[in-house]
Structure 1
């Protein structure tokens, strides 16, 4: 199971530590946060104790209005479950009582650098946690964003993946990662492709060496991540291995339980592989909009046959 520390959140979101500074190495393993509500009135049956707890203006206002004794009971019951940390988005004024409870139980109490709209902060934090804690795997290949479509290029070493990527970059598309692609499972339907940090912006070309695509082609040549939509396998040319059907049968590659549409493109001197990848990306997009060139072609044939039969 992947994990990060409370200290990671402090650094990422510039949070101020009000209590529990010695406990910033506490582990966070759950990708979503929780905003306690029912817990303040004593219902703990479904309390997600392993999640980061967010206290916004609504929760803090409620706590401020309680009597000192009532507040001690309400907060005391929650801190006994020892969540990873509390984050207050409504400012730090009047939080002495909360600091006392968190210090006593060794729970980090954090506050945003300025009052935030709680729902917006939760969205940002959830997005960060989902990405950081997502199951991941590394695959050999190249990841590109072609016309807004995330593509994973795979194939044997030396088949021409990086050279094809270079041609795509020159045509205005974006590199995400070369050689080693990190795949993250964000949901049962979503795989994110990114780099491992070390290879960021670099493209290795045989006979040329290592290129920094941003230095050569500008910021438009690179992006940090992309949702993987197509898995394209580059292979060496085999005569009569491919058929010129009107519409190819859809195959899939499974990555951590997520099935990604997969196609094979064979390489041959003079074949515009980059152009074929662009065509595959654009064709996939049209299919998502409900359009099929094969279906339109067949409808024209049928209409022509019907017209001929009426004459």
Structure 2
């Protein structure tokens, strides 16, 4: 399910000032892409994406300054379509009077930004991609462990929240407990965050709901985080074989993003927090090019070759 974003929500979540059209801030933004009208200023409107946010910078405003008042008004009225969510003028540039008039006529909010045009484009795009992306919810706990986003999943009562609580006591940060809202940030990145009602909260059976930020401080929580690794906690089954070397990597695809997944058997006496912490550190080592299982297999192969030569 994709979320919707209004122009008002965009202004509240970013450093954008409403220059005119405050009464039109309820207009919805449907595209994550931003358009800088360039060729349209010359009169070419064959492929004008009017449904996108329109962003103007120094280049566009300087070009408009060369036109007559009548020419500017004609172009501005063609730019201002009813489906256009808003116009943004960057670098604290004073918007042309003709743009203000055309926006007012078409019922379009006109916003002003302080930053340079490319930065405004980047910031607004990132915000829209996170707000408009398709989202799903999964049961589990998301913790930032040494900068690695570890999503702990498993059956109810297996010890996910208790493991997360011990990790928090060790200095790691909670992102979400019980329910994680997931969305795709880009082709390779899956992001997770807590629903607003559950933010900073963790539930421990027998104690109840606790506010982690109140108990441990602001440094113990995080608003959102990439999901780099999935740790599945599973009750120990004697008949099941578990991975011993770590050479077989399992991937779980969520919203078209493949995420490495490991299964950790839960058994009395096992310190799950330390195991999760080591799993995160091992993931980071692999991402930096070091794989302990490959090193072991290579050493074993060399040992076998050496013993074979001795026998010969």
The answer to whether TM tops 0.5 is: yes
When structure 1 is superposed on structure 2, of 242-251 and 95-104 the one drifting more is: 242-251
> Which residue of structure 2 aligns with residue 278 of structure 1?
277
Task: Give yes or no for contact 2:50–2:81 (8 Å, CA) kept in 1.
Answer: no
SS at match of 2:168: helix
CA distance in 2, matches of 1:76, 1:300: 72
Question: How far did 1:305 drift?
Answer: 4.3
> Which residue of structure 2 aligns with residue 70 of structure 1?
71
Q: How many residues align?
A: 309
Question: How far did 1:82 drift?
Answer: 4.1
Question: How far did 1:231 drift?
Answer: 1.4
- The TM-score, its normalising length taken from structure 2, stands at 0.92
> Which residue of structure 1 aligns with residue 249 of structure 2?
250
Change (3 A) 1:278 1:16: closer
CA distance in 2, matches of 1:91, 1:220: 35
Task: Give yes or no for contact 1:2–1:29 (8 Å, CA) kept in 2.
Answer: no
SS at match of 2:196: coil
Change (3 A) 1:165 1:40: same
Q: Deviations over 1:210-268 (max 9, x none)?
A: 22222222222111111001111111111141345323422222222222211111111
Q: Deviations over 1:271-302 (max 9, x none)?
A: 11111111211111222222211221232233
2:165 maps to 1:166: yes
CA distance in 1, matches of 2:256, 2:60: 39
CA distance in 1, matches of 2:195, 2:156: 19
Is there any run of 5+ residues in structure 2 with no aligned partner, and where?
A: none
2:65 maps to 1:61: no
Task: Give yes or no for contact 1:55–1:90 (8 Å, CA) kept in 2.
Answer: no
Change (3 A) 1:102 1:207: same
> Which residue of structure 1 aligns with residue 146 of structure 2?
147
CA distance in 2, matches of 1:241, 1:94: 68
Change (3 A) 1:305 1:236: closer
Question: How far did 1:43 drift?
Answer: 2.8
Is there any run of 5+ residues in structure 1 with no aligned partner, and where?
A: none
RMSD: 2.0
> Which residue of structure 1 aligns with residue 29 of structure 2?
28
CA distance in 2, matches of 1:79, 1:105: 6
Task: Give yes or no for contact 2:174–2:200 (8 Å, CA) kept in 1.
Answer: yes
2:103 maps to 1:98: no
